[in-house]
Structure 1
Amino acid sequence: MDYKEHQANDLRYLELLSRQYPTVQAASTEIINLQAILNLPKGTEHFMSDLHGEYEAFFHILNNCSGAVREKVDILFENSISREERAKLATLIYYPEEKLEEIHETVADLNEWYKITLNRLIEICRLVSSKYTRSKVRKALPKDYGYIIDELLNTNYEVHNKKDYYENIISTIIDIDRADDFVKSLCGVIKRLVVDHLHIVGDIFDRGPRADIIMDLLMKHHSVDIQWGNHDVLWMGAATGSRTCIAAVLNNSITYNNLEVIETGYGISLRPLALFANEVYRDVDTSCFAPKMFGDAVIYNAKDLELAARMHKAIAVILQKLEGQVLLRNPQFGMEDRLLLDKMDLEKGSVRIGEGEYPLLDTAFPTIDRENPYALSDEEAAVMEQLKFAFLRSEKLQRHAKFLYSKGGLYKCFNGNLLFHGCIPMNPDGSFMKFDIGCRGLSGKSFMDRAEAIARQGYYAKPGTKEKQFGKDFLWFLWCGRNSPLFGRDHIATFERMLIADESSWAEEKNPYYSYYNDEGVCERILEEFGLRGPHCHIINGHVPVKSKDGENPVKAHGRLIVIDGGFCRAYQPTTGIAGYTLIYNSWGIRIAAHEPFSTTKDAIEHNKDIFSATVVFDRMESRIKIKETDNGARLQRNIDDLKCLLQAYKSGSIKEDHA
């Protein structure tokens, strides 16, 4: 493009911009507004990872903003009200509807309680809104009470008439029985303004009871992004109709005694699988396939337990067959050694894996054809077609999958931080691993970009095409493939864990990334690969639980990398010793919070019991971060520059003002 063409394009762009700002005054006003915004403190970011369906703990930490809400309560009222009263006030903010029901039953003088509480909530609201423009605060206010809250937040209480005006508003709200609604609205505004943006660094699904409830909550959040975890892409693959991913989802769900999310959450009937399993595996040993039990999870009788084990064995065999088909279809995955069904000697009762031979715990597999072990039987194929139809027709699952694609990706660079769930695959010498899967010799950022494009292809490509099939297979690869950036291991030992007693065969060797991520120089090289440089740039990582009880530190490489998977999932808590890490990044720096296990929402409401969180600030800024130093600030500055060009065009006459 030559200089004249460039000038013509610039002029066309400015003409389009002039439709939004048709006069010098309009453009000037917007420049002043944007310039003022640049000098406000940056908004608070909240980071969570590895939620694994634990919706109650997630909802509580979302509500308390990793302790930020209670911090605001203490700042304002530490010297004026008791710890117990502050705990009650915080719980009210977290769970206003439920707490108000309790208040109605226990408080004698409701009018007095409303007066005191509404004044306190308005004070908190004023504090959390103080670093935003009035325009942004107005946009965050609920439609029904927006005007009233705006008035209360911006009243000068030193002026006598204004004080009366303020008190009359509060009294009227109480007199006309709108106090409960107003309390709920104020609590919502406080939580909305405490955190400006939420990051979910992967693994919303599996293990815990109701990932679908978490997804519903995320879809209502005002500002969120998601870095896909390996468990997320597995469900995304299931939503595409991938039979392999569907079988893996069901295998995981039955293994962890968690069918509620399938049947209740997504309305997917497992009756076809149950009927098939009862018919084929009724008189077959299923002792290796009993589901795992955690916490208060219960299967209520022996028949339920037997059925679950039969269903598990049925889907586990189907999964091994379908995974074999994926590997035979995609030799570029380089995982032929994971074709294990044809390595079984059922008469001898053993299986050959690599150079070793291991005894099998179970040899009763009536649907495996020795001549063609990876072929589904007619009955198995029929079951999978019915399940595929159900997954494709689950409106809620499809809605959630689209949300994951629209708000998610393999990684994100945001305000100097690089967020990803698993790893940047590396070789033993520390170089970035090259892949030839759907590409030719790509590594690092280039491979991550290509991998995300193929993952999207699995959902959006035209049905029946090679692109669609490869995209679906690639979603399975991201879930558990060799050195997948979301899985980060040599292989997943599903077969070994089910059928081999020798635990030495269960080892899943980690990618060398996990040896190098304690090295500050390596972390800086990864950050540079993604265009991030500077002393306050970090990698925010999930996926591998931090064994806090063994003294492992989530902050690695002198603060360059932070792992925030600390055990949201109850199944991991005996290993980690805690119930998860989260991060808060505000205008003063970054702090990490370690959370104790959450009991129940009921306990939190009735006893004002918060999650205890030990907080450590590990990166404090020399001066308060302004919006002009953020990614959004850079966008606003570009807008200012464009508007200044528009002003010049108005002044030179290249574009005429429109005062109509």
Structure 2
Amino acid sequence: MSYTEELLREKFPAKQDVVTEITNLEAILNLPKATEHFVSDVHGEYNAFDHTLRNGSGNVKQKIIENFGGRLTPRNIQEFATLIYYPEDKLVYRKKHVATQDELDQWYLNTIARLIEVLKITATKYTRSKVRKAMDPNYVYITEELLYNDRQELDKRNYYNQILHNLVALHQADEFITVTCYTIQRLVVDHLHVIGDIYDRGPAPDKIMDTLMNYHSVDIQWGNHDIIWLGAVSGSALCIMNLLRICARYNNLSIIEDAYGINLRHLSMFAEQNYTDVQAFRPKTVEDSEVIRPDERKQITQIHQAVAMIQFKLEGQICKRRPEFDTENVALLDKIDYAKGEVIIDNKKYPLACECFATVDPKDPYKLTAEEEKITRSLLDSFKNAPKLHKHLDFMMDKGSMYKCYNGNLLFHGCIPVEKDGSFRVFKFNGKTYEGKSLLDFFEKKLRKAYGEPDITDDLATDMLWYLWQGPLSPLFGKHAMTTFARYFVADKDTHLEKKNAYYSLRKEEWFCRKLLQEFGLNADQGHIINGHTPVKKGHQPIMANKKMIVIDGGYSKAYQPTTGIGGYTLLYNSYGLQLVTHHPFTSKEDAIKNGRDILSTKRVVNQELKRQTVADTDTGREIKEKLQLLRNLLSEYR
């Protein structure tokens, strides 16, 4: 008898126990497939991300329209939807705008009855036990009595109505409304996929991580920006410097200091002593961000230069240490003629547009000064010992992966490195070769090793995290090189060019997408590839390759919205098929509460299932079928 069979025998010791479980599981297989929700490249934009989760990419409002479309005006439908999104805030707002207590009590009664109707719709896909788990424990009894009894039945009408009146009379209406709204949110989406890049650019990735840690069911496919944060706590000084440089570039150093409690005072004092106000290093700001004071802007600019120069030095060291990475073109400090103010890039001379090389020794340009060494060691210790950051990144490691195969679809952030003919590019290391799926498996293994050994700071696994950030065969980067130095110091934009891997052209081809699905063991006729990483520009299509490829990076980050023209894409996958959702740029939570402003724009059907999918058609269904076979074997023994 196998270990699994032994466990089943302990859990179901009698024949009737087995019969009951078989009956339960067989019934579950016939329930409609629950809704999956896909988001990508949220880049610290917590408010827009939080709103999207609360409205289920429009799913909540759709449920209301289905049930109340002929009974409520569009304005009242939006008011009701906003209540479900932000119950606490909307209750405060509502109570300020009612004339009498009697009017408020009537609103309570109407609202609770409507919420129960919406809850009935959202609960139909689930077993009673799963619905119960989604409820607030303090209100399970009341909610179930309202949910599973019909107000229209004459014998139960007075019973039902008395429960409603008691909730109001005993001053429980606010709390009941609030917890019911969150139960609806919980049931509208069964599982969330985050296709990478939670961190960088936006102001509040820490709040996004807090939200995900409290979410009922989620997985994460790491993005290139997530990797440098994982690298920072894994002992990679290079990842730390890249991370700090990006935070300074987008005026987000408060994430480091205020959100994660990492002190940058030593770095700031060093930067002030060695760097001036160079325009190329001034922080980027979006149109509606708060104005930066001149002294604060100068301080950020100086820190920006300090970490960039340490980064460039460390890049030179790693290129020498790891020739197998094939990243020699990244190290440029030894290609500078400091007297003439010129740099050689790809065998061509270019004048330097600006200079900030006070800490560089032209005779040994990649050597850190004593003070830079001290700052680097201090930052490594600080990142390694930041409790809140570790809590967030431990969760990201636990729920994360380089790719995921889920319900027949392939999910990954960046690309699968390929040649122009679609053949997989080969990464050679220690006499072994890695390509396609095996390449991603190899990188994930190294990442997990580095994360588990943060005190080892210069081993291959730790260096590999930097390679994942910008290496030419990194599936998270997907370009021939990162031209960071040239973007700061060279005016000629030809030097800024980062050539994309052939994957980004070939992903428009159906044959290529089918090849990738087969490489990962998926059904090429039924499966799809769901991608992030590259913002879909105005006029370009997010659905490609005869609907086999769906790219959902549409501009969550405000920095990308001028390019994309929208506020982001999300994807829904329910029992009827796949729907791509386009969002307007998010304004504010206050605007949503006061004016009912939603960010949902349009839904576009990607594919419509000919036969409505059930749990039996999912990965969960496959697991249930395997368990059913074991249970039937056990039942035969009992007989």
TM-score, normalized by length of structure 1?
0.94
The within-5 A match list for 1:33-72 is 33-72=24-63
Partner in structure 1 of residue 361 of structure 2: 369
CA distance in structure 1 between the partners assigned to 2:126 and 2:17 by the alignment:
22
The within-5 A match list for 1:404-415 is 404-415=396-407
Of residues 238, 252, 255, the one that matches 2:232 is: 238
Partner in structure 1 of residue 528 of structure 2: 538
Q: What amino acid sits opposite 2:20 in the alignment? A: T
Partner in structure 1 of residue 14 of structure 2: 23
Partner in structure 2 of residue 522 of structure 1: 512
Residue range with higher mean Cα deviation, 400-409 or 531-540: 531-540
Of residues 583, 603, 617, the one that matches 1:629 is: 617
CA distance in structure 2 between the partners assigned to 1:135 and 1:298 by the alignment:
48
The within-5 A match list for 1:226-265 is 226-265=220-259
- Does the Cα contact within 8 Å between 1:543 and 1:565 map onto a contact in 2? yes
- Does the Cα contact within 8 Å between 2:281 and 2:305 map onto a contact in 1? yes
1:427 aligns with 2:428: no
Q: What amino acid sits opposite 2:228 in the alignment? A: L
Partner in structure 1 of residue 94 of structure 2: 103
Q: CA deviation at 1:437?
A: 4.3
Q: What amino acid sits opposite 1:501 in the alignment? A: A
Q: What amino acid sits opposite 2:171 in the alignment? A: D
- Does the Cα contact within 8 Å between 1:430 and 1:513 map onto a contact in 2? yes
Q: What amino acid sits opposite 1:615 in the alignment? A: K
Of residues 547, 568, 573, the one that matches 1:585 is: 573
- Does the Cα contact within 8 Å between 1:593 and 1:616 map onto a contact in 2? yes
Contiguous gaps of at least 5 residues in structure 2: none
CA distance in structure 2 between the partners assigned to 1:355 and 1:298 by the alignment:
43
1:297 aligns with 2:285: no
CA distance in structure 1 between the partners assigned to 2:195 and 2:453 by the alignment:
26
2:501 counterpart SS class: coil
The within-5 A match list for 1:81-96 is 81-96=72-87
Q: What amino acid sits opposite 1:35 in the alignment? A: E
Q: What amino acid sits opposite 1:297 in the alignment? A: S
CA distance in structure 1 between the partners assigned to 2:544 and 2:113 by the alignment:
44
Partner in structure 2 of residue 597 of structure 1: 585
Partner in structure 1 of residue 486 of structure 2: 496
Q: CA deviation at 1:382?
A: 1.1
Partner in structure 1 of residue 144 of structure 2: 150
> What's the RMSD between the two structures over aligned residues?
1.4
Residue range with higher mean Cα deviation, 296-305 or 44-53: 296-305
- Does the Cα contact within 8 Å between 2:43 and 2:556 map onto a contact in 1? yes
- Does the Cα contact within 8 Å between 2:409 and 2:528 map onto a contact in 1? yes
- Does the Cα contact within 8 Å between 2:57 and 2:600 map onto a contact in 1? no
CA distance in structure 2 between the partners assigned to 1:34 and 1:459 by the alignment:
39
Q: CA deviation at 1:351?
A: 0.7
CA distance in structure 2 between the partners assigned to 1:351 and 1:638 by the alignment:
64
- Cα distance change on mapping 1:288 and 1:277 into 2, 3 Å: same
Of residues 321, 330, 334, the one that matches 2:326 is: 334
Q: What amino acid sits opposite 1:270 in the alignment? A: L
The within-5 A match list for 1:3-402 is 9-10=1-2, 13-108=4-99, 109-281=103-275, 284=276, 286-402=278-394
- Does the Cα contact within 8 Å between 1:555 and 1:562 map onto a contact in 2? yes
Q: What amino acid sits opposite 1:427 in the alignment? A: E
Q: What amino acid sits opposite 1:528 in the alignment? A: Q
**C-alpha distance after superposition, 1:260-281 (max 9, x if no partner):** 2212211222111110011122
CA distance in structure 1 between the partners assigned to 2:457 and 2:585 by the alignment:
47
Q: What is the aligned residue count?
A: 636
Q: What amino acid sits opposite 1:267 in the alignment? A: G
- Does the Cα contact within 8 Å between 1:333 and 1:437 map onto a contact in 2? no
1:648 aligns with 2:639: no
- Cα distance change on mapping 1:100 and 1:581 into 2, 3 Å: same
- Does the Cα contact within 8 Å between 1:299 and 1:305 map onto a contact in 2? no
CA distance in structure 1 between the partners assigned to 2:125 and 2:547 by the alignment:
27
Q: What amino acid sits opposite 1:338 in the alignment? A: V
- Does the Cα contact within 8 Å between 2:234 and 2:454 map onto a contact in 1? no
Identity %: 46
Residue range with higher mean Cα deviation, 537-546 or 236-245: 236-245
- Cα distance change on mapping 1:439 and 1:612 into 2, 3 Å: farther
Q: What amino acid sits opposite 2:528 in the alignment? A: H
1:436 counterpart SS class: strand
1:560 aligns with 2:552: no
Q: CA deviation at 1:179?
A: 0.6
